[in-house]
Structures are given as structure tokens and as C-alpha cells.
Homo-oligomer: A and B are copies of this chain.
Amino acid sequence: MQQCLRVPTFGAIEAGGTKFVCGVGTGPDDLRVTSFPTTMPAETIARAVEFLRGETLTALGVGSFGPVELDRTSPRYGHITTTPKPGWRDVDLAGELRRALGVPVAFSTDVNAAALGEAKWGAGRGVGCCLYLTVGTGIGGGAIFNGVPLQGAMHPEVGHIRVPRDRAIDSFDGVCPYHGDCLEGLASGPAMAARWGIEPRELGPDHPAWMLEARYLALGIANIVFTIAPARVILGGGVMHQTQLYPLIRREFVQILNGYLRMRQIAEDIDGYIVPPELGDRSGVLGGVALAMAGSR
């Protein structure tokens, strides 16, 4: 008699403000994905459910745009909360998916999910603790310690840290509606576009904009490194497609530390300390798989 053993498989959703990426699998080698635009909640969630319903899932992992509620003691756990995106405010994303699919749902921020994907299968594997920072429409970060997103009383909002600036060099006021010239206000993609009056990707690679951008990002990274000391820093997001930024950021970062932090990883191999992601545009959806796996242990 033959026994049919079903290999456990996992569902994943990278719920972005522009598109949803849904996946099924157990890792990079067997992941099957689909994606579609983020329209209104009912329609978008229905399309995700339709894709995932045919599978025998052990669990589903969701990394969502936010702000989201991650406090498990809150009645709004798993909700998207105060987003300005039409229709999505106060949507119980995790709850609706759980009820429709009948599987446990592990829920986190989109950035935490991408960080987890990179930590498990990408640039952060094997280092114990890594920081993933995305620099694009906004600046966001997630830190993974021993396979688990670092989570205090809420998720990290490192994009909004303040860094020193010299107004004699840069008189730009910043674009953050809350803080003006916080890191996101000074160095996100929209901040660059507003400062230079042109989309960042239209600036030539030798434009002085990149030197200033590298300086602000290095100051932000240094502040985070002084606080949580990750063993590796992974920089992703649209702005980081400008690969000339990596060596500039490394140089500024080393200058800012000025020999103070005696961390082997930095002293011995700065090129291996501040690195690009390895999973390309699959960090987020693979992070969803990793979330589902961790949540179902």
C-alpha cells in the first residue's frame, strides 16, 4: 500500500499599496507567484483568495503596507489602520484572509517581511542579526534577530530618525509632512525629486546629488548601527537601484564611525557589511513564506 505524504506548503502575500504579489511554496526554488494591482479591498482580497484557495496550505504569511497593527493584544491586530489609501483604512486584512482560507495567518509589515526573506534566503543568511533598509517612496527598516523581526511596542519607524545637516550646504526643508527634514524627509525618492526638480533616475550617476544622498543615508545607518549593531546592513528599494550609491555610502559610513566601533564585520570587510539585497523583487513574497513558516512552528 502506498502512503501519500503531502509536503507542507505555505502561502505568502506581499500586500503593497500599488500591487499585491501572492506566492505558494517553501522557498526560492519552488515558489510560484502571481501579482495584480491593488484596487479596492474586497476585490483585491478576493483575487488573492482565489489564487491561494486551490492549495493545501499549512499557513499564510502576509507582509503589508501600513500603518498596520502588530500588537497581538489589540482587537485591531492584523488591521491596516490609518492609511490615506482610499478604502483601505481599518481593513482587517489578516482576519479576512484567515476566515476565507481557514489557515493560520502570520502578519507583519512589508519591510519586516522583506527583511525576513533576505535574512533567511538572501543577503542576510547566516549572520544572526541583520538590518534591511528600503529607500524608495519612503524609507523603512526591519531588523531580524535570530530569525525573528525585532519588535518593541510597535514596528520600527527608522525612516523618521533625525540626522545632522549643514544648511549652508543643503538648505532644502525636507518633505516629511510630520518632521520636515527627518531621514525620509531628506533622502527618500520623493525628497530627491523635490530637491533637484527631477526624478532621481534622471540624474546622471556623477551628479552631486548622490554624494549628499550617500551622506544622509550613511548618517542614518550609523545611528541604527550604534543602536542595534546588526552584523550586516542590506539596502534595497528603488533609490538603491542607483548602484553607485553603495561605495559612496560605505565610505561615508566609515568616516562617520571614525574608528570608534570595534566590530569585526565592519573592520574586516566593509564591502560585505553594507550590501544590496539578493532576492531582487522576491524579497517581500519570500518573506511572506518565511513568516508563514515561523508562525506555524
Contacts and interface: CB of A to CB of B under 8 A. Distances in A.
A156 B229 contact: yes
A256 interface: yes
Contact of A224 (B178, B227, B231, B261): B227
Contacts of A67: 262
A227 B230 CA distance: 12
Contacts of A259: 178
A163 interface: yes
Contact of A153 (B155, B162, B179, B263): B263
Nearest to A166: B167
Interface residues of A, number: 47
Given A128-B153, A129-B153, A153-B128, A226 B262 contact: no
Given A152-B230, A152-B231, A223 B161 contact: yes
A42 interface: no
Given A153-B229, A162-B219, A260 B179 contact: yes
Interface in A138-165: 141, 145, 150-165
A39 interface: no
A265 interface: yes
Contact of A223 (B82, B128, B223, B265): B223
14 contacts: A141-B227, A145-B150, A145-B152, A150-B228, A152-B229, A154-B261, A156-B228, A156-B229, A160-B226, A162-B219, A164-B164, A178-B257, A179-B258, A179-B260
